[in-house]
């Protein structure tokens, strides 16, 4: 029925980083993306003004790609005092994980998934080039928990399938990040060795 949210779909993510506008467009076109959903809380950049909301909302449609800003999926969330997502030692990531448990996030994610219905190629955009340095990884976890396929676009015709955060727990289509039990002689960590240092920056 029209308006229903498909149970499983494919979505893309991309970080604008220091790309040129043409590089962004070329990457989106290589995956036939026709709608870019901007989930930055503050959709502007002093260093890369070509990715300000005003510029994107004007220039992307001229290239045949739609643009939409969804602030309800943005970062900059504070952790709750009673948070049980303590697997994240980084407060920014923990705060976003807490936000993911609320009705506002669930409604926004449903809206995003509805936009991607009928096999429409949709990409969500962040600032960071690599997914583990911003809340892109948590949004991708939430989509994965609902059965969706998420691909992180790294460049034209280059994408990496999303891998669920190793310490995430999925139940009933929802994801949480409880702290792992502390083993004698070992410390709790946010992530496996090799990703530990890369996940220190919080969501934008």
**Residue 184: exposed, middle, or buried by beta-carbon count in 10 A (0-12, 13-18, 19+)?**
exposed
Question: What range does the domain containing 14 cover?
Answer: 10-181
Q: What is the pLDDT of residue 5?
A: 53
Give percent of the chain with pLDDT exceeding 90: 71
Q: Which is more confidently placed, 144 or 18?
A: 144
- In total, how many domains does the chain have? 1
Check residue 30 and give its pLDDT.
97
Q: Find the range with the poorest average confidence among 20-34, 91-105, 129-143, 182-196.
A: 182-196
**CATH, residue 82:** 3.90.190
Q: What is the pLDDT, as a whole number, of residue 197?
A: 38
What is the CA angle 87-88-92, rounded to 5? 155
194: in domain = no
Q: Is residue 117 part of a domain?
A: yes
CA pseudo-torsion sign 30, 127, 74, 147: positive
186: in domain: no
168 lies in some domain: yes
Tell how far CA 149 is from the center of its chain.
13
Buried b (16+ CB within 10 A) or exposed e, 6-22: eeebebbbbbbbebebe
Are the CB atoms for 47 and 17 separated by under 8 Å?
A: no
């Amino acid at each position: 029925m029209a308006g229903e949210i498909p149970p499983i779909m494919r979505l893309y993510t991309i970080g604008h980083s220091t790309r040129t506008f043409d590089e962004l467009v070329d990457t989106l076109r290589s995956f036939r993306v026709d709608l870019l959903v901007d989930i930055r809380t503050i959709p502007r950049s002093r260093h890369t003004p070509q990715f300000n909301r005003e510029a994107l909302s004007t220039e992307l449609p001229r290239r045949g790609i739609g643009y939409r800003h969804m602030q309800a999926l943005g970062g900059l969330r504070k952790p709750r005092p009673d948070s049980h997502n303590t697997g994240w030692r980084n407060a920014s990531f923990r705060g976003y994980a807490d936000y993911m448990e609320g009705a506002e996030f669930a409604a926004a994610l449903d809206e995003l998934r509805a936009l991607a219905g009928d096999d429409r190629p949709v990409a969500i955009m962040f600032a960071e080039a690599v997914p583990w340095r911003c809340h892109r990884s948590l949004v991708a976890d939430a989509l994965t928990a609902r059965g969706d396929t998420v691909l992180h676009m790294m460049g034209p015709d280059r994408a990496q399938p999303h891998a669920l955060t190793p310490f995430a727990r999925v139940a009933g289509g929802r994801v949480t990040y409880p702290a792992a039990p502390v083993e004698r002689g070992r410390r709790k960590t946010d992530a496996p060795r090799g990703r530990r240092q890369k996940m220190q920056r919080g969501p934008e």
